[in-house]
Amino acid sequence: MGFGSRDVDKGVVLVLGGRSEIGLEVARRLSPGRVVILAARRSDQLQEQTRELLIAEAAAVHCVEFDADDMASHQPLLEKIVAEHGRIGVAVVAFGILGDQARAEADPAHAVEIVTTDYVAQVSVLTALANLLREQGDGQIVVFSSIAGVRVRRANYVYGSAKTGLDGFATGLQMALHGSGVHLLMVRSGFVIGRMTAGMEPAPLSSTPDQVADAVVAGLYRRARDVAVPRRIRLMFLAMRYVPYSLWRRMPR
């Protein structure tokens, strides 16, 4: 397949956030001969996503109800998936919301909603996943950070702060998993053109869900610690840290 000599870990492909464009593209690339689990709210409405994965030669596709913000349900759900479908090979943590920055500045409840889904809920499900995969002795986890978390900007600081927290947590978890047989891949992308950003002006070094998914699958095959999409955005990540505050606070989204 051009990704190197190693394969991804055997087992089901789990997409937490079963409507995510990126998550589905990753699943599509991994699906031939594998069982895919799509976890999302209104899971009974995932017929189109199921059909696409079956066309991509998934062995089977199962849809399960998943509310990211219902953190008490995370561990029981994961345990149920393993009990019914077997070990997890790849878990793609693809849920999240962009939210409305202007609304979040005026409405504390909305600010908390963004941070809960994009950080707190991710901490919960990642901890449960890591413990489960440690017991297996293998398995791979995909976590999506963002350029927004590299250095928080005025224009989207609520979302950006959640991504900064997630990036730090996942980096620490990655170190904690060293030697356990579990692989965590951190994905740091720039602006991704898709449903989540519909109506927004694409930023420089934008990418598409297809491009992100290609990078994710390549990173899984070579057991990379992190991937940047597109690759050249790493230079932007470095440069961002040195922009003076007086200029940075005027930066657009």
User: Which is catalytic among the residues 159, 221, 242, 245?
Assistant: 159
- Residues whose CB falls within 8 Å of the CB of residue 148, separated by 6 or more in sequence, listed in order: 156, 159, 160, 163
Catalytic (active site) residue 159? yes
**Distance separating alpha carbons of residues 3 and 39, to the nearest angstrom:** 27
| C-beta separation of 8 from 33 below 8 A | no
**Distance separating alpha carbons of residues 53 and 82, to the nearest angstrom:** 20
**Distance separating alpha carbons of residues 27 and 25, to the nearest angstrom:** 5
Inter-residue long-range contacts of 40-43, CB under 8 Å, 24+ positions, other chains counted: 40/65, 40/66, 40/95, 41/65, 41/66, 41/67, 43/18
**Distance separating alpha carbons of residues 158 and 132, to the nearest angstrom:** 31
**What would the two tokens of residue 201 be?**
């002006």
| C-beta separation of 215 from 229 below 8 A | yes
CA 240 to chain centre: 23
With residue 12 as reference, give the H or E element that holds it: strand 12-16
Q: Side chain identity at 44, as an amino acid letter?
A: D
Give the residue numbers marked as catalytic.
Answer: 159
